Copies of this chain bind each other. A is one copy, B any other.
Amino acid sequence: MSPRSPAQHGKAAHQPSPLFASISSARICSASVLSRPAARFMPLSASRWSLDGARAAAPSGACHTQFRKHAQALALAARESSIPAHIVMPSVSRPNKVAATKGYGAIVYPSGSTSVEREAVANEVIAATGARLVPPYDHPDIMLGQGTMGLEFQDQARDLLPAGKRDLDAIVTPCGGGGMLSGVALSCEGTGIRVYGSEPEYEGADDAKRGYEAGKRVETVKSRTIADGLRTPLGVHPWGVIYERKLVSAMFSVSEDDILQATKLVFERFKLVIEPSAAVPLATALYNEDFRAMVEREAGEAGWDLGLVFSGGNIAVDGLAELFAAKQQP
């Protein structure tokens, strides 16, 4: 399977995520971390990645249990496809998130906060409406939809590459459930672009890395990492692409401090608001010794043009302040 470009999906309301090349980060990188060869960074802010996947998976009405911003993406995709979106959200959800989801035209159903309670409500909704359940990541359509982001990234990156160079050398993508990582990997199949996954290591959140290295998928994770979008265990379908088909070349993990430092760097130098989960690839590229050694070994004098996926900006001003207050005063 391979993803189709947004244009092939019908491009209505598709606005590409912006691509930035950061002079300051390239400098930081070449000066102090990947000293030779240098890697230039091209991060993609991928906030709309799951739209196409949600659209593909929900041809006739969609039901979804709240799973971070995927609910909003699904609501928007459903509206654009003129089908109803039924979203189950815990009653404790922040009012602005509920309002945003409703704002995209979804019908929101309150539930208790556990997954069992959410699923019970979802089953009632499905029984009453005939809607189809759309999983957040463990489904081939969702993976392919997220792969459209990989294609978009490759297209945009070409404009920033040195003359005569056609593609990025590598892309590093965050890995939680693995939907996005596997989608990006599918989008790079046959291009020669290496794809790497990156995870938080705190309290065993590096389940995909451990599974990849042991040859057996880790099925459960219980971690309180600040990269809270990546606490999910790797799904069965993504595992097939990432490990069995080896479309991902290696997995890396980073510490909480490294993630926080990368988040701050993106905030202050890239001027982008991202949640800690989204900073994990940059933390890997800047601070992971194994990654650094690999680049030095494989890239030669020319260095790498490295794509980093920044996915997720689900953090409020207050949340950001708390995050840094808590972590900077140990």
Contact = CB atoms under 8 A, between A and B. Distances in A.
Contacts of A313: 271
A1 interface: no
Nearest to A318: B324
Interface stretch (A13-21, A179-187, A249-257, A299-307): A13-21
Contact of A18 (B20, B96, B320): B20
A199 to B, nearest CB: 22
A267 B273 contact: yes
Interface string A66-99: 0000000000000000000000000000001000
Interface in A288-322: 313, 316-318, 320-321
A262 B273 CA distance: 15
Contacts of A317: 264, 267-268, 320-321, 324
A24 interface: yes
A175 interface: no
Interface residues of A, number: 26
Contact of A24 (B18, B20, B100, B274): B100
A120 interface: no
A103 interface: yes
A103 B313 CA distance: 29
Given A18-B18, A273-B272, A317-B268, A24 B103 contact: yes
A271 B47 contact: yes
Interface of A: 15, 18, 20-21, 24, 27, 45, 47, 96, 100, 103, 264, 267-268, 271-274, 313, 316-318, 320-321, 324-325
**9 nearest A-B residue pairs (beta carbon):** A321-B321, A271-B313, A271-B273, A18-B18, A317-B324, A264-B317, A268-B316, A267-B273, A267-B317
Given A27-B103, A267-B273, 15 more contacts: A24-B100, A24-B103, A45-B271, A96-B268, A267-B316, A267-B317, A268-B316, A268-B317, A271-B273, A271-B313, A273-B273, A317-B321, A318-B324, A320-B320, A320-B321
